[in-house]
Amino acid sequence: MEQTLVIIKPDAVQRGLIGEIIHRFERRGLRIAAMKMIQISPELAERHYAVHKGKPFYEGLIRYITSSPVVVMVLEGNRAIEIVRNTMGATDPAKATPGTIRADLGMDIGRNLVHGSDSPETAAFEIPLFFSEEEILSYSREVDSWIYE
Ligand code: DAT
Ligand code: MG
């Protein structure tokens, strides 16, 4: 089973969209392995977004992600990384496919509501930034035999 890090970003929390966004991931069949609400420190934001350091949008991105609380989750499932990315939609809400979170709920690339790891390597780097091993729960669900063949 693959794991991925999801962040419900400050704009989504402020706009009352936590439930809406979790609902979409839950309905797909992803299992919530860990979840908490935190305010991201500048240090953590800089580690998480290190790959974007030096880009024109970097400073604004750090200000945005640290501006207000977020909900962070580890979601698990077969091909969870790809499925979460497809559920989120393209980075720019204006270009995202209708039916995705960013298209249905967003307008601006700088307020795109949600983060999801983009590869297994990224997930392996990002998850331990936010969660200790004890915080990530392993449990089975009866419904999984109806979600997976
Ligand atoms: P994603 O979040 O879809 O993985 P990314 O990793 O390329 O996208 O960028 C991280 C975040 O940075 C993205 O969610 C929004 C912001 N961002 C990316 N490109 C941007 C741009 N051209 N202008 C403004 N913000 C941008
Ligand atoms: Mg990314």
Q: In this predicted structure, what is the pLDDT of residue 87?
A: 98
Where exactly are the structural domains of the chain?
A: 2-39+70-137
Residue 16 φ/ψ region, left for φ over 0, alpha for ψ in the -120 to 50 degree band, beta for the rest: left
Q: Which ligand does the CA of 126 lie closest to?
A: 2
Catalytic, 115? Answer yes
pLDDT tens, residue by residue, 41-81: 999 999 999 999 999 999 999 999 999 999 999 999 999 99
User: Is the CB–ligand 1 distance for residue 57 below 6 Å?
Assistant: yes
Distance CA 64, CA 57 (A): 10
Tell which atom from ligand 1 comes closest to the C-alpha of 116: 4
pTM over 0.85: yes
CATH hierarchy code of domain 2-39+70-137? 3.30.70.141
C-alpha distance from residue 84 to each of 42, 94, 119 (Å): 25, 19, 11
- Token pair, residue 138, equals 């392993």
b/e map 33-44, b = 16+ CB within 10 Å: bbbeeeebeeee
